[in-house]
Amino acid sequence: MGTKRKKRIYERNIYYTVLKYYAGLFFRLSYGKREYYGIKNLTSDGALIFAPNHTNALMDGLAVLDLDTRPKVFLARADIFKKPLLAKIFFFLRIMPINRIRDGRNTLKNNDETIKRSAEVLCNNVPFVILPEGAHRPMHSLLPLGKGIFRIALLANKEIAGEKPVYIVPIGIEYGNFFRYRSSLLLQIGHPLNVTAYVQANPEKDEPAIMNDLKEKLQEDLKELILYIPEDAHYDATLELCNMSCHDRIEQLSLRHRVLKNRLTANRYTVKLIQNRLEADPENTVKILDEIAVFAEKRKRKRISMASVVNPNPGITILYRSLLLLLLFPCFVVSSILYAPTLLASYLLCLLIEDPTFHNSVRYVATLLLWTITYVAFTITVFSLFEWEFALALSLVFLPSPLTFYQYFKWFRTTRSDIIWILAKDLRNAKKRFVEWIL
């Protein structure tokens, strides 16, 4: 009797497929607005290695997973695989371990097996996802790219041996807010880097040289897909100025409002202007940026949202949102009670995790798991207490309780912020002066 063949990580699994669709639904509900661009750039004639920037922990990988219906295999840092149970869970979730230099140079030899298995995944027409920065950071910039993604690409190119090309696909992910749940998500897919064609076109170059060339190209491509702010002493002020001038910049460029891609275009334009002014007139530009940094500190201390700062008609917004808050308050109360166990669990878990970048990931997982349990219990209860027509109506009305809670709380928070902003005449005058300067 033969031994049972070990299951491959990329092979079809019906349980994984069901979970993927369910998790994808909750992921989409984690954002108030999502925009994906460049899907047509995903060629079907080769092996794809997705290379997104990494700013928001688990949510970055889920954004790539949500691109299409195809299964994908991921790489994650090896230290989270130490416990056998976790290793089995990650295998089920199609996640493979990769050691980093910070884990110790002696552990890097273990990556050889992972790289070979990664090439096997690509050879079997399953896309591979590697976050080449190697660590997340909630900033509009890029960390230096690691070499692992390029080693995998070159090995896969050898293994496939000309059957099909190997591509590295740059993906830029932008969030409206790194830390606020149900913010916005913009994902752009760049033009794939044809690794096979590059190797064939440069037979005189050895692997290290090719890896460096691909690394530089990928780095530049990623910068074009995100709001890239050079890391200098004026990062915070630059971002503040981008956000406060975005509404006016969009109008100046004759773009449509409420389009995430247009917001990115406007902010990239502003960053370029700031960099040009720093070169042409560094003394005055630095002085203004320092003033903007002080403005940002005062705004945050007063708990004024940037949404209030860019709102052209805060008075009107206060009136209609106040009416909505009053009318929907009973629904909010019931939704909050139902969502309370999930919300409390999320809050307690976030207290235990020092890195705030993980907090949205915690909220997502808690909502996925705990809200499902809570809602099932609620549905069983109402159907046991009431006639089925009324029970069904209650079940449907309170199905979106998490969305109701977060939307109501957002309206409350921004209404309070609008009131404070209207009363902050000094900040409003300063904002007007800064926007006029950069426009």
pLDDT at 330: 94
Three-point CA angle 18, 37, 125, nearest 5°: 50
For residue 35, which phi and psi values (nearest 5 degrees)?
Answer: -135, 130
Can you give the pTM of this predicted structure?
0.92
Residue 321 burial (CB count, 10 A): 17
Three-point CA angle 367, 24, 337, nearest 5°: 20
Whether 226 contacts 174, CB under 8 Å: yes
pLDDT at 1: 45
How deeply is 83 buried, as exposed, middle or buried, from its count of CB atoms within 10 A (0-12, 13-18, 19+)? exposed
Each residue's pLDDT, cut to its tens digit, for the chain (439 residues) gives 455 667 788 888 899 999 999 999 999 999 999 999 999 999 888 899 999 999 999 999 999 999 888 889 998 877 778 788 888 888 888 988 877 655 555 555 666 777 778 888 888 888 989 999 988 899 999 999 988 889 889 988 888 877 889 999 999 999 999 999 999 999 999 999 999 999 999 999 999 999 999 999 999 999 999 999 987 789 999 999 999 999 999 999 999 999 999 999 999 999 999 999 999 999 999 999 999 999 999 999 999 999 999 999 999 999 999 999 999 999 999 999 999 999 999 999 999 999 999 999 999 999 999 999 999 999 999 999 999 999 999 999 999 999 999 999 999 999 999 999 999 999 999 999 999 999 8
The owner of tokens 């990239």 is 268
The owner of tokens 């921004």 is 414
What is the b/e burial string over 341-361, where b = at least 16 CB atoms within 10 angstroms of the residue's CB?
ebbebbeeebeeeeeebbbbb
* Inter-axis angle of helices 260-280 and 282-301, nearest 10: 140
Q: In the chain, what are the domain boundaries?
A: 14-225, 235-300, 318-423
CATH architecture of residue range(s) 14-225: 3-Layer(aba) Sandwich (3.40)
Whether 135 contacts 56, CB under 8 Å: no
Amino acid at 338: L
Interatomic CA distance for residues 276 and 274, integer angstroms: 5
- Per-residue tokens: 16: 């994984």
Interatomic CA distance for residues 137 and 56, integer angstroms: 7
pLDDT at 278: 94
Element (H, E) at 91: helix 84-92
